Amino acid sequence: MSSLSLRRPLRGAPRSRLFILAGIVVALVGFLGWFATGPLHLASADDKPLSQGKPVTASSLEGQGYPAKAVVDGDVKTRWSSAFSDPQWIQVDLGAPVAVGRVVLNWERAYATAFELQVSVDGTNWRSVYATTTGTGGTQNITVSGLGRYVRMYGTKRSSGYGYSLWEFQVFGTGSAPATATVNPPSSASQSATTQPTSGTGGTGGTAAAGYIMAPNPVTNVKPSHEVPPNKGGFHEFQANCSVSRTNLGDDPIVFPGLAGASHLHTFMGNTTTNAATTIDSLTKGQTTCKAKGDLSAYWMPTLLNGDTEVNPVGLQTIYYKAGVTDYRSVRAFPKGLRFVVGNAKNTDADKFLAATEEGFECGNSYKNKNIPLTCPAERSVQLNIRYQAPSCWDGLHLDSPDHQSHMSYPVDTHTASGWVCPDSHPVAVPKLEFKMAWPVNGDMSKVRFTSGAGPTFHYDFMNAWDDRTLAAMIDGCIVAARQCDPRGHDGRDDQQPAPYVLNEQYLLP
């Protein structure tokens, strides 16, 4: 696609004495104003684009003549242009997290009518700070508020049959977050920013600050329990048995809220309505593939592939709700709307991955595998298995955080009789989720992988939409009561008789 830039030449004209006199008067007024109100504002750090000359990457190029780096070269005669399809994106790496305050997009004639501006501290987890479906092109000067090292324009609808094209992509801001509206983030992510409305992933929270979504009812009066309970070594758990509800969707309502197809393909379980536009409100109106009818939560993970063939778990899968701390009596229900990501889609540390699992990847009699085994016994009963555990300590303040993990923490081993205890930064003990997944694949496993990559990139997402009363009853009747329960909240072991059922035969709370 070619572009023609038309510019009208400046016309020179001799200055008249009157014009000169007027200029002197204006200057005197400004000078006098300095004494009355202080110095005039001439420039600030915000006037210099932080993006100038920084590394840039893009989803695609129309051709080598339209490189991504053209948008930060300061030359309005060079431009980036994408492939002729939706969606497309371009992002700049500022080198370190900054408080982004303004973005200027200088569009060529091929512009975005629908796009988002997004920020990220790690280049993986993104938060939208601006969105429109009525873009008009030209030069757009957009005020935003968000903390990020990376800033991205994510286009979802083009103005024409061509791609997206920018002369310049300028990011303005300061090297530290503003001091207003701090919401006591965890010590691992001590960042603050101006308070702004909750994003579309909410539906139950109050405000969001720099990617944090506040819980509507924060828990601030809890200290981690160091007490030693009775029956310390027993079982304290129940099961959520859920089957696959949706597959082959490149959606992720936590990491890419509202951006259909922006993610790698996922396999969803539980709620039947989960998609990129999912909110807690939409989940509560949906249906579930879980046995417990009160479990309307959304669970999802990267899809497993054998070559190019999608492989999904068959039948009910087990998601354990366990006590992650030694004092199981301190475990309480998740707040409605809590969400988090377990693991990392870009993980390359196989040892770190193995440490968060029960037995690593399993198939047949092969255990403790850091990665997907190259071969498994070619027997009908053999499947690839994984049991991957989530953090079980909550900060009590946030339903979500910028990286979708910092508001959660794994418990720590005190090496005393207290055993495993939540850290002071995350004092609220909640159930420990453990995905126990089985995929019907065996034999030659050399082409088996996840849509996120190799085995250690396995991860999963959770958005809590349990009926509050049902979840509380299951926790109290199973975890706190030191029982090993099935999906009805029943412990059938002989030594636990008589063991009441929490749910009735229809898996509903009576």
pLDDT (tens digit per residue) in 436-485: 999 999 999 999 999 999 999 999 999 999 999 999 999 999 999 999 99
Q: How far apart are CA 121 and CA 151, in angstroms?
A: 9
Residue 256 sits in the same domain as residue 394: yes
Do residues 381 and 263 share a domain? Answer: yes
In 3D, which of 200, 171, 212 has the Cα closest to residue 395?
212
pLDDT, residue 497, reads 67
Alpha carbon of 488 to those of 37, 269, 434: distances in Å?
A: 72, 18, 18
**d(C-alpha 474, C-alpha 503), whole Å:** 8
Of 120, 150, 174, which residue constitutes the final position of a domain? Answer: 174
- Spatial CA neighbour of 307 closest among 443, 458, 460: 443
CATH number at residue 124: 2.60.120.260
Evaluate whether residue 11 is within a structural domain: no
Residues 359 and 467 occupy one common structural domain: yes
Statement to judge: residues 248 and 167 lie in one domain = no
Based on the domain organization, do 281 and 158 belong to the same domain?
no
Report if residue 478 sits inside a domain. Answer: yes
Answer yes or no: is 20 within a domain: no
Pair 150, 260 in one domain: no
User: Are 295 and 435 contained in the same domain?
Assistant: yes
Residue 487 exposed, middle or buried by CB count within 10 Å (0-12, 13-18, 19+): buried
Instruction: Let me know if residue 58 belongs to a domain.
Output: yes
Q: Are residues 153 and 290 in the same domain?
A: no
| Domain assignment of residue 506, yes or no | no
Instruction: Say which residues have a Cβ less than 8 Å from residue 249's Cβ, sequence separation at least 6.
Output: 265, 266, 268, 275
Q: So what's the pLDDT on residue 86?
A: 87
- 241 and 170 together in one domain: no
Domain-embedded: residue 34: no
Please list the ranges in the chain whose pLDDT falls under 50.
Answer: 1-46, 176-210
- Cβ neighbours of residue 183 closer than 8 Å, sequence gap 6 or more: 192, 195, 207, 209, 212, 214, 397, 398
Predicted TM-score (pTM) of this structure:
0.63
Domain boundary among 124, 142, 174: 174
Q: Which of 157, 174, 191 is the last residue of a domain?
A: 174
Are 120 and 248 within one domain? no
pLDDT, residue 211, reads 66
> Does any domain span residue 219?
no
What is the distance in angstroms between the CA of the first residue and the CA of the last residue of the chain?
Answer: 66
Give the pLDDT score at 248: 75
Domain extent for 88: 46-174
The structure tokens listed for 348 are 């390359």
SS3 280: helix
Rounded-to-integer distance, Cα 417 and Cα 440, Å: 42
* 6 is a domain residue: no
Question: What pLDDT is stored for residue 316 in this prediction?
Answer: 96
- CB-based contact 183:397 (threshold 8 Å): yes
Q: Are both 139 and 265 inside the same structural domain?
A: no
Number of domains making up the chain? 2
